[in-house]
Amino acid sequence: MARPRNFDEDRAVDAAMRAFWAAGYEATSTQDLCEATGLGRSSIYNTFKSKHDLFERALRHYMDGVAREQTALLEGEGTVREKVRALLEMVVDDETGDRLGCLVVNTGVELAPRDPSIAERLRRDYEYRLGLLAGVIQAGQRAGEIDPARDARALAHFVLTTISGMRVAARTGADREALEGIAATALGAI
């Protein structure tokens, strides 16, 4: 008879997410995960099956949190430009704070080229954010805030690519001033 779990699985996933976020998938060992979660190896493998399974759960947990935050921002009050400005400002603040970057961008660079399941998860996340942002831009076009002749989906791709680029630039040394300049340029292009 299996023993009942005496730990909070969600808390363990959150702790593992933070470990993967700090070091990346490859550099995070099982021992690192044990230390981060407070669990033994057997508990990790009995619950999550593998390091990869735990990583997928941690990545999904991260994506869900980011999606909730961005959805609330983009579906909230304000003009399209105010919403995009706030989104870009969040990136600047994130990237000049703890400097861990974005787990989605980090994973895209590290794993997506050789891990089809992760690549597919990242693609679905991107499509969700793209659709959300394109919808906001289309609403702005209907309200007369954005030129209706512009391709809303292309503008959304541009904003998302700018965000990813800002995150990578920060990882390679861009400071707050540089990131704010990129954000202002992007906002001006919309």
Contact at 8 Å (CB) between 182 and 162?
yes
Contact criterion met (CB below 8 Å) for 1 and 31: no
Q: Across all residues in the chain, what is the average pLDDT? A: 93
- Give the Cα separation of 43 and 108 in Å (integer): 28
Determine whether 44 is exposed, middle or buried from the number of CB atoms within 10 Å of its CB (0-12, 13-18, 19+): buried
Residue 102 predicted with pLDDT over 60: yes
Q: What is the pLDDT of residues 126-169, one digit of tens each?
A: 999 999 999 999 999 999 999 999 999 999 999 999 999 999 99
Contacts 24+ apart (CB under 8 A), 154-159: 155/190, 156/130, 157/130, 158/186, 158/189, 158/190, 159/84, 159/87, 159/88, 159/133, 159/186, 159/190
The pLDDT, as a whole number, for residue 101 is 83
* pLDDT band, residue 171 (cuts 50/70/90): confident
Please give the pLDDT value at position 7: 66
Output Rg (C-alpha) for the chain, integer angstroms: 19
pLDDT in tens, 31-74: 999 999 999 999 898 889 899 999 999 999 999 999 999 999 99
Q: According to the model, what pLDDT value does residue 2 have?
A: 47
Rounded Cα gap, residues 67 and 56, in angstroms = 16
> Is residue 83 a contact partner of residue 74, using CB atoms and an 8 Å limit?
yes
